[in-house]
Structure 1
Amino acid sequence: MTLCVSARSFRSTLRTLKYSTALTACLLAAVPAMAQVTTGTIRGHVAGVGAGTVVEAVNPDTGFSRKVKTREDGSYALTGLRPGTYRITATGPDGVYEEVVRIQVAQSLVVDMDQLTSDIEEIVVVGKVRPGMELRTSEIGTNVTTEQIDMLPQGSRNFLNFARLAPGVRVSRDEFRQQFSGGAANAQGDSLAAGQTNVFIDGVSLKSNVQQGGIAGQDGSRGNPFSQLAVQEFKVLTQNFKAEFEQASSSVITAVTKSGSNEFEAEAFGLFARKNFTERNFFDKRDDRPKPDFSRNQFGASVSGPIIKDKLFFFLSYEGNFQDRSETVVPGVVTPEQQALLGFDPQEFAGTRTSPFREHLGFAKLTWDISQSQYAEVAVNVSRESDIRDFGGQNSLERANNIKNPVTSVRAKHEFSGDFFLNELTFDWRKSTFNPTPLNQEDPALNFRNVINLGGQSFRQEVQDVAFTLRDNVTFSDISWHGNHVVKAGIRVARVEADVEFGAFINPQFDFFDQPADDLDFSFPAEARLGVGDPNISVGNTQFGVFLQDDWEATDKLIFNIGIRWDYEGNMNNKNFVTPDDVAETMRLLQEMRDADTADALAQGFSVAPDAFDFRADDFISTGNNRSPFMKAIQPRLGVSYDVFGDESTVVFAGWGRSFDRTLFRVAAEESILNNFAQRVFLFSRDGSLRNGQETIAIDRLDGFTREALLTLVEEGNDPGREVRAVDNDLKPPRSDQFNLGVRQQVPMFETVFNFSATYSHIRGKNDIAFLPVNRSNFDRDDDGRLDVINTPRDFGPFNNVIVGVNGRKTRFNALFLTLDKPYSAEEGWGFNVAYTLSFAKQRGNTFNFDWINPFTAPFRPNAADERHRIVINGIVDLPWGLKLSTLTELGSGQPFQVTDLSQGFGRRAVIGNLGDHPGLFAFKQVDLRVQKDFEGDFFGGLEKLSVFVEAINLFNSNNFGGRDGFIPFQGENPNFGLPFSLAGPARTIQFGIKAKL
């Protein structure tokens, strides 16, 4: 490797990143590169040969080939193979050796060629493909095949749902947050910490830099992040992933998209479900509610083929997802007097209205096999969706939002290979926007309490994330030193531009009360709320990462995977932000009052509360130059596997590694916005008299229900007290330390071979963000043990709460993973997989810590990731008469529920956040089933195959509950304690589909 900068300038580069572009250019010019995020490696030995024998892998569908030469001991390593079927040949002294194998995404297979081929021309690939099972690896990963994506039942066609096939991975069942996570990572309550995951499509990260949800376009979305029709296969990595994977301290998914081949192919499908084919859920039956309206139409098509045979190919796909649900507006009952004052009939707004969701997913890809040594591809992905929701009950249709999540990405890649190296250069650009748009954003919100809410939504939000990323990685496959090495190195530079707008009450809200005792009725508003200030922030951030990975085959049985990674962000925590003077003065005064409070308590013989947080104001006051980038994101990763008998029948493996994630920029954005944007509350009366001791404004001074009318009254409006939000100047990104130990065993049964694995997994997470109030005293003041609120003088500004964010949360995860796998093959006509997870997950501190106000001293408690037992079964079997049967079945003990125990009083004596018992061994039961009939042959205008199918989601209509009532009151009993109030999955739904292939 040629080094283009001096050691001193390189150290300066790491400190300031000023020369990252120059450094990238040097690396591009100096070294070839390769990445294994989506491609695979085949390595092994050719019997009876020495150095220089050519080993060639050819994909018969596209003509793509890759050649390497054997080392002195006859070993070889074919790197950068895109998933697919390959014919591997080598010519030895006694003839031709050949294997036909199928390699999957991110796999590293061992293929030893010791059988001579008598006639290479007579080999038929179909039916003789050797299954590509990755056994000699220290990674904990699960491959999801093309057949599983195509055949297993699911309701939403979101390929991420199949991540549940991997032990230790959980998939959210919240319709508006289709996320996945692993380990003990948990955000708050029963939600998943999806922000600590990452998804790679063709090596490009989909991770959101700003929003929650993990993936761009998935926060608050009912839609899918990517066209399932365009996904060929993917792999779920739950632990000990290699150093090339960045920005994930939990789990990783790496997927590869379909490409064109020498055969023209076209596919179309339609899938629909209707109200008539669904069951009422548990709560609808309990409350005797009618079956809600529901329809879902999913459809799409793809076309692919050659532009130039064996050279240039195309692939195009489109998917639509159209859903209609209904919400019912039920206004409150009014008296004739109220009716007269309103001037309209609230029942005019009553009735059931459609809540439509529309999603369009488009994908286009060109692949160019330029020559034996060069390959290029370009891809474009577009996602557009519209979701009309947030109305119903006493919210009229006028109050609806249109939830928009547009995402556009463009990727270009070039590969250059030689006998012992492969160069991969990738560029990608992505723009994503989260934009809930009020349908009537120009109309003020008019809330008639207990009757009807009219007008537009008062909140306006637009979060835009634009990312430009350049990757260059390096591999060499001909390094021999105490064994054979495949060495990879890489560099990544990304520029992110984030624009956040979060305006509460930008659109004013007017509240009307009918309270005769306060001389209030529906003839004029009692209150109004208006957001004033700047609700916007725009920040740029540069990300930089380097890695080095050595896959070292020390002996024929022993393989080491040794890697190290370092990541850097120039502006993770909004380093240019300057804390306003009034906020800084308030925080310093608050520190003095807390310190004096503590000193006084100690002088009087009181002991300081054991959960006291040592608040130092200067730790949270930003001057614009005292927030340095985090430089210690060094991530060593080590794995080892040992093939006990040298035939892959028994493999023992272990791994340890550290992974850093990133802190979502929204944490820092809210610090800035909440300090520059405030809410005003206006109290109105008929004559401007006092009401409950508070001053009011005479209603005749309000010149209409508009923002402009309220702005003229701002000086007389009440400030309800701004919330100070501040983050630690030394904020660190979340990280996890992972350890695993396991064994893989091939088990011959029923004239086939099953693959069994048992893995112990241990993960420790730290540096998760925890927010806590610091305007509290440091010791107990009352009989309840409540920590008193410290009221700061309002001379410095009307602040009602001072909330700081620290790296206060930790997680612990211990689990046993058991899997039994037999991949589906067309030749055998069946396949199945069973994954069992026994897990123990705990967490210290929450996202918001208002009950135990020091996350550093909070006890570890089970969190929502603590689902003790979970079994996931999937299977595909070919039946007579062209029938196929498949199932995806999930059984689980369910998540424990949160308990708030106030039986001993409030304050620190209250036990808040403990989790109740698990509901039961099989508290969660969902059996999804699919039956498909294939018609093959030349019919219906030249169709190659026509398939019709029916899917039953939750076949047995099991009641799977989500949240449960965990409130224990101070006095008396809660008769609903432990009873469910939400669902964690659908009622039985039958959907029908059809597919056609040319």
Structure 2
Amino acid sequence: MHRRFAVMAMVALAVGLAAGPASGQGTSSGIRGTVVDAAGPLPGAQVLAVNVASGFQYGAVADVDGSFKLSGLAPGTYEVKVSSQTYAEQSVRVQVLLGQDAQVSFTLSPTEVFMGDVTVVGETTKLLIDTRSPVVSTNVTTQQIEALPQNNRNFLSFAQLAPGVLFTDNTDAAGQEFRSGGSNPKQVNVFVDGLSYKNDIIKGGAFMQDSSKGNPFPQNAVQEYQVLTQNYKAEYEKSAAAVITAVTKSGGNDFHGEAFWLFQNEGMVEQDDFAEARGDAKGSYDRNQYGLAFGGPIIKDKLHFFLSWERNDRENVASVYHGSSWDIAPDNVIAILDGYETGTLPAPLLSDLFFGKLSWQPGASQTVDLSYHRRDEDETRGFGGQTTEQAGENLLVTTDAATLRHQAVLGDDTLNEASLMWQELGWANAAVNPGTPQQNYVNLLTIGSKVYNQDLSQDRIGFRDDLSFFFDGWGSHALKAGVVANWMDYSLTKAAYQYPYYEFRQNEDWQFPYLARYGFGDPALSFSNEQYGLFIQDDWRITSNFTLNVGVRWDYETNMLNNDWVTPADVVSGLENSCRTYDPPVGGQANWCIDEIFDPNDYISTGNNRSSYSNMYQPRLGFTWDIGGNAKTVLYGGWGLYYDRVTLNDIYDEQFRHSWKQYTFCFTMDGTQPDGCSVPAVMWDPSYLTAEGLDGLIASGQTPGPEVFLLANDTKPPRTTQWTVGLRQQMGDWLGGLSYASVEGDNGMAWSFGTLPPGTDFNNRWGGWIGIPNYGFIMRSYDVRTTEYDAFYLTLDRPYTRDAKWGVNFVYTYADAWQNASLDEGVAFAFDYIPTDWPMFPGNADEKHRFVASGTVGLPYNLQLSSIITLGAGFPWSYTDCLAGWDRCVWHPNGGRPPKQSFLGINEFAYRSVDLRLQWDTTLGGNTNLALIGEGFNILDYANDSCFDGWAGAPGEPNPRFGMPNCQYNTRRWQVGARFSF
């Protein structure tokens, strides 16, 4: 740690001497163009942009050809003043959106300044829209964040307004996350004020959102954000799918503040059809979401502050109910389980989110921002369905992050942006009622303590510097190069099965467990990693209407794969010397040794033979052709390679299983091997229902040792190849778009059978592997998972303006997504095929149709109505079909489809929700306002079915409930609230 602080101190000093720390990528915008009059260019013309809220100023002087550049603008509203020696100063008010580089031609006259060659919406304040970008991107504005209906205050949920991006439909689900391009949600990234919130440890992509129902960042601190669906430029790192880049609010020259409160209780939430059919009583439930924000000047036009806080205080509910086999369970089993409470039970969540920011302009075209964010989230959860409240857990999610940013325009043609970052992300879950073994009576109830307790943390110290040059030569260029460095510390504690886990099932009439798991030892693992990235990109405007975007990025990590790990000597010996005799022969051979199946050296780590992957070269190419030269009709496209990283949790077991011994047991009453259990069975004894009994069984040597995870030394990080071609068309105040997008993913990792000889019969895959002394089942990693995604995106937008008092957005996605190997989106296992005979099947995100419409309209009497309509074809589900015989069972991964329902006569949708928000505003005096809010979600009470029965049936016994739903989500609910602002 001392070395790291020394390195950071030297970096900070170097940056300070050079140009000072500044904002990271995705935090600013720009205006480029020319100043002319009727006779031609006006060299020497002055262009000054003054931020209306803060008073911060950004200036430029037109070159000999009249061209100018205003770079590093914070998104917002500006008074742009243009003047020359010939003409008096004229001004126009414009709104600049995040991440957009608008090209504008200012034409001066004695009385007015005219804007041309740019897409503009609005009269009083002209909204500038950049149609010349090759990136598939969507801007989510302040107006949309504040006005559209939203059941929770997770700012990421508005990502669904972008084509090709899916956000978790179920607002009560554990794990509120987004995804795109048929890729795993782990492959996205989120930047806030240039700081990456990439989650290196577990699934979720960013913010430690794995299993979290809470919000990662205070929404009242988010000014706006941009969703980059695909084909983004080389400056963005650690993502092979969609990127969200957000900027936070700042204080201004006037004091402004707000307080809000939103309320929902059990009387405002409809029960689903299944809860009503079971006669479940509604549990006591209420949710209060409230918060404050306040900002203003410390020194007018120079130094401002902004503070915000949000709380989510929710008594959530979870329905616990008897499983589908309850009616056929034996009386002695019912007697064990009948005393456990079922029905709708409370599951509280309390979350506090804090944000603070100082903004300073020490000189013209130079800004400094210092910000801090904290998250504290505590939820009681982990029960529901057939899992009783006794097996619940406390989920704790925390964030501490600070960013120091500085940007400066150096002369007329150079912009420097840099940042220093510190961040700590934490995720932990612990048993609510520790100490009791867990007993899972499959399809009945699960009782006992939660048996898997974890405490994970990720610490980051980071630095970034981007330098942009603007020059002419064979056209005009905006050349940008940058470097990013992160010093990471990871700490993981995972006490898996520290309380024994037992699984009872119908095959044994639930009389004894056929399977048990138990672990003990040292559950902690920690190590460090360094991440570096370099990029260079050029926006090369070859002609006035054709631009080529060329870039390349390279990323490198010193210790992505825990390179210091040393494979234990007895494992090495076992891999090099273990053999097995097969009768009958397998693959034409009776004797097989492990070293004949694969080279053990490819998986043995000596602590110095595992090289860090150094080939993350990512070329990226894009183009735009402004067909008419007026930004009205633009053809665009792009292609690129995008690397992500291997998530630490995916490789954790390689070392963990040796420091924390984890055993799997199979039990039998008649000496036969139970189906679905991978280790040799031992005769059942009731003493094994305790940890002491299992300790004795382990000591006796009757059960195999812990499992072995063999990680390939040459494991490659996942990546995608993306390409897009599309057309944008402006039609008055409307902007339409049609594009085709393709994404191919490879290098995805999965664990599967490690020591099966070639030619092993599929039905013998669980018993045909070669073991090594003192260890159990052996798995190897395979980085051959792939995804394929093809989609058409159709968009139509009429941006909201205060002049018109209305705006609408329509997004339609037609997609076809495929994947192979595994359905898992966390640590992936692939046991349903022989490695690596992994056919493609419909992807988890294979939704053929997705339509999202949103809009806001001002009504008489100070009313405002807004809506989001979401329609989806639904996601596939898997099923098993044994109707043709037990020896001919077929598993169909994602082979089932939810039944289609109608919306306005179109029978294509399995998910339907119409959400409305009505707001009434009144002035209390001066600039003080009060708003009363009423919101309804799924107001038409559509049945959004899920949990489809995936058992087609046994030979001669078709399942009458096959394909039928067993649960629903997003039932109709209402919410009321108020907002006070000044």
Q: Place the TM-score, normalised by the shorter chain, in its bin.
A: 0.7 to 0.9
Aligned partner of 2:774 in structure 1 is 797
Q: Which residue of 573, 578, 583 corresponds with 2:566?
A: 578
SS of the residue corresponding to residue 158 of structure 2 reads helix
Aligned partner of 1:246 in structure 2 is 237
Distance 1:398 1:732 in 2: 41
Encode CA deviations 1:830-849: one digit per residue, 9 max, x unaligned.
00010111111111322321
Contact 2:854/2:867 (<8 A) preserved: yes
Distance 1:45 1:513 in 2: 75
User: Deviation of residue 445 (structure 1)?
Assistant: 3.4
User: Deviation of residue 908 (structure 1)?
Assistant: 9.0
1:936 aligns with 2:923: yes
Distance 2:653 2:123 in 1: 58
Q: Which residue of 524, 533, 538 corresponds with 1:550?
A: 538
Distance 2:309 2:869 in 1: 29
User: Deviation of residue 292 (structure 1)?
Assistant: 4.4
* Residue type of the alignment partner of 1:825: T
Closer/same/farther in 2, CA of residues 908 and 216 from structure 1, 3 Å limit: farther
Contact 1:682/1:697 (<8 A) preserved: no
Distance 1:593 1:682 in 2: 22
1:42 aligns with 2:56: no
Aligned partner of 1:188 in structure 2 is none
1:758 aligns with 2:756: no
1:207 aligns with 2:198: yes
Contact 1:767/1:808 (<8 A) preserved: yes
User: What is the TM-score normalised by the length of structure 1?
Assistant: 0.86
User: Deviation of residue 788 (structure 1)?
Assistant: 6.5
Distance 1:642 1:511 in 2: 62
Aligned partner of 1:863 in structure 2 is 843
1:978 aligns with 2:967: no
Range that drifts further, 134-143 or 857-866? 857-866
Aligned partner of 1:815 in structure 2 is 791
Distance 1:405 1:259 in 2: 26
Q: Which residue of 739, 750, 761 corresponds with 1:770?
A: 750
Q: Which residue of 813, 824, 840 corresponds with 1:837?
A: 813
Encode CA deviations 1:625-672: one digit per residue, 9 max, x unaligned.
221111111111111111111111111111111111111111222211
Q: Which residue of 470, 475, 479 corresponds with 1:483?
A: 475
SS of the residue corresponding to residue 98 of structure 2 reads coil
Distance 1:182 1:935 in 2: 41
Q: Which residue of 464, 467, 473 corresponds with 1:471?
A: 464
1:225 aligns with 2:203: no
Q: Which residue of 912, 920, 924 corresponds with 2:892?
A: 912
Closer/same/farther in 2, CA of residues 347 and 900 from structure 1, 3 Å limit: closer
Closer/same/farther in 2, CA of residues 936 and 695 from structure 1, 3 Å limit: same
1:389 aligns with 2:385: no
Aligned partner of 1:4 in structure 2 is none
* Residue type of the alignment partner of 1:770: A
Encode CA deviations 1:883-903: one digit per residue, 9 max, x unaligned.
111000111221232233444
Distance 1:965 1:61 in 2: 56
SS of the residue corresponding to residue 127 of structure 2 reads coil
Closer/same/farther in 2, CA of residues 868 and 447 from structure 1, 3 Å limit: closer
Aligned partner of 2:294 in structure 1 is 303
Distance 2:889 2:598 in 1: 22
User: Deviation of residue 29 (structure 1)?
Assistant: 5.6
1:168 aligns with 2:144: no
Distance 2:893 2:29 in 1: 45
Closer/same/farther in 2, CA of residues 462 and 414 from structure 1, 3 Å limit: same
1:722 aligns with 2:706: yes
Contact 1:108/1:134 (<8 A) preserved: yes
SS of the residue corresponding to residue 652 of structure 2 reads helix
Range that drifts further, 195-204 or 846-855? 846-855
Aligned partner of 1:536 in structure 2 is 524
Contact 2:280/2:344 (<8 A) preserved: no
* Residue type of the alignment partner of 2:190: V
Contact 2:567/2:604 (<8 A) preserved: yes
Contact 1:786/1:908 (<8 A) preserved: no
SS of the residue corresponding to residue 289 of structure 1 reads coil
Aligned partner of 2:69 in structure 1 is 77
Aligned partner of 1:237 in structure 2 is 228
Contact 2:844/2:894 (<8 A) preserved: no
Encode CA deviations 1:694-728: one digit per residue, 9 max, x unaligned.
578896xx9x9788x98688634754542211221
Contact 1:777/1:789 (<8 A) preserved: no
Contact 1:545/1:567 (<8 A) preserved: yes
1:109 aligns with 2:85: no
Range that drifts further, 614-623 or 988-997? 614-623
* Residue type of the alignment partner of 1:410: A
Distance 1:180 1:879 in 2: 33
Encode CA deviations 1:663-700: one digit per residue, 9 max, x unaligned.
11112222111233223589999xxxxxx99578896x
Closer/same/farther in 2, CA of residues 141 and 446 from structure 1, 3 Å limit: closer
Closer/same/farther in 2, CA of residues 809 and 601 from structure 1, 3 Å limit: closer
SS of the residue corresponding to residue 554 of structure 1 reads strand
SS of the residue corresponding to residue 106 of structure 2 reads coil
RMSD of the alignment, in Å? 3.8
Closer/same/farther in 2, CA of residues 684 and 902 from structure 1, 3 Å limit: closer
Closer/same/farther in 2, CA of residues 217 and 52 from structure 1, 3 Å limit: same
Contact 2:283/2:345 (<8 A) preserved: no
Closer/same/farther in 2, CA of residues 706 and 960 from structure 1, 3 Å limit: closer
User: Deviation of residue 69 (structure 1)?
Assistant: 2.4
Contact 2:771/2:778 (<8 A) preserved: no
Aligned partner of 1:676 in structure 2 is 659
Closer/same/farther in 2, CA of residues 496 and 71 from structure 1, 3 Å limit: same
Contact 2:202/2:649 (<8 A) preserved: yes
Range that drifts further, 270-279 or 576-585? 576-585
SS of the residue corresponding to residue 909 of structure 2 reads coil
User: Deviation of residue 583 (structure 1)?
Assistant: 2.4
SS of the residue corresponding to residue 111 of structure 1 reads strand
Contact 1:44/1:110 (<8 A) preserved: yes
* Residue type of the alignment partner of 1:967: W
User: Deviation of residue 379 (structure 1)?
Assistant: 0.7
The 5-angstrom pairing of residues 315-464 of structure 1 reads 315-327=306-318, 347=339, 353-391=345-383, 397-419=389-411, 420-441=413-434, 443-445=435-437, 456-464=449-457
SS of the residue corresponding to residue 261 of structure 1 reads coil
Distance 2:219 2:23 in 1: 26
Distance 2:211 2:739 in 1: 34
Closer/same/farther in 2, CA of residues 762 and 391 from structure 1, 3 Å limit: closer
Aligned residues, how many?
931
1:130 aligns with 2:113: no
Closer/same/farther in 2, CA of residues 598 and 472 from structure 1, 3 Å limit: farther
Q: Which residue of 835, 848, 861 corresponds with 2:829?
A: 848
Aligned partner of 1:62 in structure 2 is 54
User: Deviation of residue 805 (structure 1)?
Assistant: 1.4
Encode CA deviations 1:301-338: one digit per residue, 9 max, x unaligned.
101111111111111111111111345778999x9x98
* Greater fraction of residues in strand: 2
Aligned partner of 1:181 in structure 2 is 179
1:967 aligns with 2:951: yes
Closer/same/farther in 2, CA of residues 115 and 69 from structure 1, 3 Å limit: closer
Closer/same/farther in 2, CA of residues 887 and 589 from structure 1, 3 Å limit: farther
Contact 1:680/1:717 (<8 A) preserved: no
User: Deviation of residue 961 (structure 1)?
Assistant: 2.2
Contact 1:506/1:530 (<8 A) preserved: yes
* Residue type of the alignment partner of 1:790: G
Distance 2:306 2:584 in 1: 69
SS of the residue corresponding to residue 666 of structure 1 reads helix
Encode CA deviations 1:727-785: one digit per residue, 9 max, x unaligned.
2110111111111111111113xxxx21011111111111111221133342255xx86
Aligned partner of 2:674 in structure 1 is none
1:270 aligns with 2:261: yes
Distance 1:34 1:164 in 2: 27
* Residue type of the alignment partner of 1:549: Q
Contact 2:45/2:85 (<8 A) preserved: no
The 5-angstrom pairing of residues 183-198 of structure 1 reads 183-185=181-183, 193-198=184-189
User: What is the TM-score normalised by the length of structure 2?
Assistant: 0.87
* Residue type of the alignment partner of 2:971: A
SS of the residue corresponding to residue 283 of structure 1 reads helix
Distance 2:384 2:154 in 1: 27
Extract unaligned runs of 5+ from structure 2: 1-5, 114-120, 669-679, 823-827, 901-907
* Residue type of the alignment partner of 1:923: A
User: Deviation of residue 582 (structure 1)?
Assistant: 2.7
SS of the residue corresponding to residue 132 of structure 1 reads strand
